[in-house]
């Protein structure tokens, strides 16, 4: 029987894998004269300065409604994507943000779309991290255009603000070529993780919209779509307004599955895949924007026979009064550069997983128990344990519904992990290396090729929660987007159907 043709997303994933035999030939010298700037500039526009409204988390909000809204929005944007530090470089400064980015390239841009309020007049605003300000570059009503482009998503009916996240593709492609597409959406997932939690701290509820007419949103925002494209829209519900308290709604729509595509050279894959995954019409069918019904019989995907099982039930992290600990952690988060090789405690690892996967355990601390993802049912988690007190070395599947580890292999994988992570010592010296995977064929069957966007944003979102929990517990953490894809499955015994999406290393910082 002839083989079923693979879709463009599957083709892209195969073509952008790193292999030991070919990685050297695909590497290229960076052209430092063409290094992109991570900030967007506008020649014209009206600036709304958010700096006067910054405050410590322990300070009360103003009684003045307009100032209060400005304080909340200022806090939200700083904690989502704001600058938190800078370091001197040969050419000036390197800026750090509250959200991590591969190579410090920050491909995402954040925009505010206002329906009109006492704080922000109707129009389009770009968030300027360098000055912590909003620049209004279009001052006319665009809300109806936004609703039309988002196929009349119910979350936009009563809300007054929306956030659009775009990708400036070259910022990442300059360094990572076609594989940058993966990193762009992982980085956006980090941003979505911050946005979710920072919204909780400011009485907002972000409603994630992944199904929208790409070209219509790009045109509405005056983007050059060959350079920059919208990749997520968020309706920002104000929980202090009763008519904006909405139930969770559907977040993802399917695109076409494209199996007929031309021969593509290296350097053409990124743009082709992005265009192939665009939507131009509502694909929700008769279901509309209602939440996707949950399967009452849903279970964790893998239950290996006769495997060792370890309960992961644990006390939840206490973020302190009004989650002040979380507030501070978002701003001081940094990716760890090296580990000591020391062991983690089992209770530390369990606390990290509890915060990342068991959101409903944090409702009593004021956090959203059911935050928006695109489809967490498609993401699987495996852990290579090299140094955890109270847990045998080896590879484990994490079953979040059953809250348990299921052991796959008994072995210390430090040497192999060093190799799999392209010789990065982070892989070798970490106490735990966590892998997010997905059955790409199954995901494409459900959401079309656009699933590739959803999977990477969800993995990045989970990765950011791991980041924040690790920093709060004074552990080291760093994400890795470069690895020998197929060797991960082979060495760790992960089923071959599982495409490796993201790696997060956890350990004792040096």
> Which pLDDT does position 26 carry in this prediction?
73
Identical fold, 42-287 and 309-507? yes
CATH of domain 309-507: 3.40.109.10
pLDDT in tens, the chain (510 residues): 456 789 999 999 999 999 999 887 777 789 988 999 999 999 999 999 999 999 887 789 999 999 999 999 999 999 999 999 988 877 778 899 999 999 999 999 999 999 999 899 999 999 999 999 999 999 999 999 999 999 999 999 999 999 999 999 999 999 999 999 999 999 999 999 999 999 999 999 999 999 999 999 999 999 999 999 999 999 999 999 999 999 999 999 999 999 999 999 999 999 999 999 999 999 998 778 888 777 777 899 999 888 999 999 999 999 999 999 999 999 999 999 999 999 999 999 999 999 999 999 999 999 999 999 999 999 999 999 999 999 999 999 999 999 999 999 999 999 999 999 999 999 999 999 999 999 999 999 999 999 999 999 999 999 999 999 999 999 999 999 999 999 999 999 999 999 999 999 999 999
Tell me the CATH class for 42-287: alpha beta
Task: Output the CA–CA distances (angstroms, integers) from residue 138 to 126, 234, 282, 293, 424, in the order listed.
Answer: 10, 19, 27, 39, 45
Distance CA 352, CA 246 (A): 29
* Residue of 429, 436, 437 whose CA lies nearest to 412: 429
> Which pLDDT does position 286 carry in this prediction?
74
> Which pLDDT does position 56 carry in this prediction?
84
Burial class of residue 61 in the structure, from the number of CB atoms within 10 Å of its CB (0-12 exposed, 13-18 middle, 19+ buried): middle
**Beta carbons of 125 and 135 less than 8 angstroms apart:** yes
> Which pLDDT does position 3 carry in this prediction?
67
Kindly calculate the radius of gyration of the chain based on its CA atoms and give it in whole angstroms: 22
Residue 252 φ/ψ, nearest 5 degrees: -125, 140
- Residue spans of the domains in the chain: they are 42-287, 309-507
> Which pLDDT does position 299 carry in this prediction?
93
* Residue of 89, 59, 246, 254 whose CA lies nearest to 154: 246
* Residue of 451, 455, 487, 11 whose CA lies nearest to 3: 11
């Amino acid at each position: 029987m002839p083989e079923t043709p693979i879709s463009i997303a599957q083709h892209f994933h195969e073509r952008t894998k790193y292999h030991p035999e070919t990685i050297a030939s695909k590497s290229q010298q960076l052209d430092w004269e063409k290094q992109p700037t991570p900030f967007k500039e506008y020649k014209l526009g009206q600036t709304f300065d958010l700096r006067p409204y910054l405050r410590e988390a322990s300070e009360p909000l103003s009684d003045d409604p307009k100032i209060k809204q400005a304080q909340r929005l200022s806090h939200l944007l700083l904690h989502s994507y704001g600058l938190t530090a800078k370091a001197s470089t040969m050419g000036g400064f390197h800026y750090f943000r509250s959200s991590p980015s591969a190579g410090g390239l920050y491909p995402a841009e954040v925009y505010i779309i206002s329906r009109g309020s006492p704080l922000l007049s109707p129009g389009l605003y770009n968030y300027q991290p360098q000055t912590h300000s909003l620049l209004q570059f279009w001052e006319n009503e665009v809300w109806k255009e936004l609703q039309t482009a988002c196929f009349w998503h119910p979350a936009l009916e009563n809300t007054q603000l929306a956030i659009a996240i775009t990708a400036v593709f070259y910022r990442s492609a300059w360094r990572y070529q076609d594989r940058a597409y993966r990193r762009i959406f992982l980085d956006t997932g980090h941003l979505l993780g911050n946005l979710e939690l920072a919204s909780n701290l400011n009485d907002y509820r972000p409603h994630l919209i992944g199904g929208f007419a790409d070209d219509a949103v790009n045109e509405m925002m005056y983007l050059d779509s060959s350079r920059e494209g919208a990749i997520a829209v968020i309706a920002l519900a104000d929980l202090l307004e009763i008519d904006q308290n909405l139930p969770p709604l559907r977040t993802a729509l399917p695109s076409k599955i494209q199996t007929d595509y031309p021969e593509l050279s290296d350097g053409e894959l990124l743009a082709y895949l992005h265009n192939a995954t665009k939507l131009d019409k509502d694909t929700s069918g008769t279901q509309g924007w209602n939440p996707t019904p949950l399967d009452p019989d849903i279970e964790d995907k893998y239950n290996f026979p006769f495997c060792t099982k370890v309960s992961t039930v644990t006390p939840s992290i206490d973020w302190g009064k009004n989650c002040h600990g979380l507030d501070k952690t978002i701003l001081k988060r940094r990716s760890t550069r090296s580990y000591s090789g020391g062991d983690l405690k089992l209770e530390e690892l369990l606390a990290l997983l509890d915060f990342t996967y068991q959101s409903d355990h944090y409702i009593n601390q004021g956090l959203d128990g059911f935050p928006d993802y695109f489809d967490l049912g498609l993401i699987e988690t495996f852990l290579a344990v090299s140094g955890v007190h109270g847990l045998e070395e080896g590879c484990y599947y994490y079953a979040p519904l059953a809250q348990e580890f299921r052991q796959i292999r008994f072995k210390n994988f430090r040497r192999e992990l060093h190799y799999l992570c392209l010789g990065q010592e982070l892989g070798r010296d970490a106490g735990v290396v966590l892998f997010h995977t997905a059955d790409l064929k199954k995901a494409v069957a459900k959401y079309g090729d656009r699933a590739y966007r959803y999977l990477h944003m969800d993995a990045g979102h989970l990765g950011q929660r791991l980041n924040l929990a690790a920093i709060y517990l004074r552990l080291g953490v760093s994400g890795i987007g470069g690895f020998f894809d197929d060797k991960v499955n082979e060495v760790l015994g992960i089923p071959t159907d599982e495409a490796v999406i993201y790696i997060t290393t956890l350990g004792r910082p040096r």
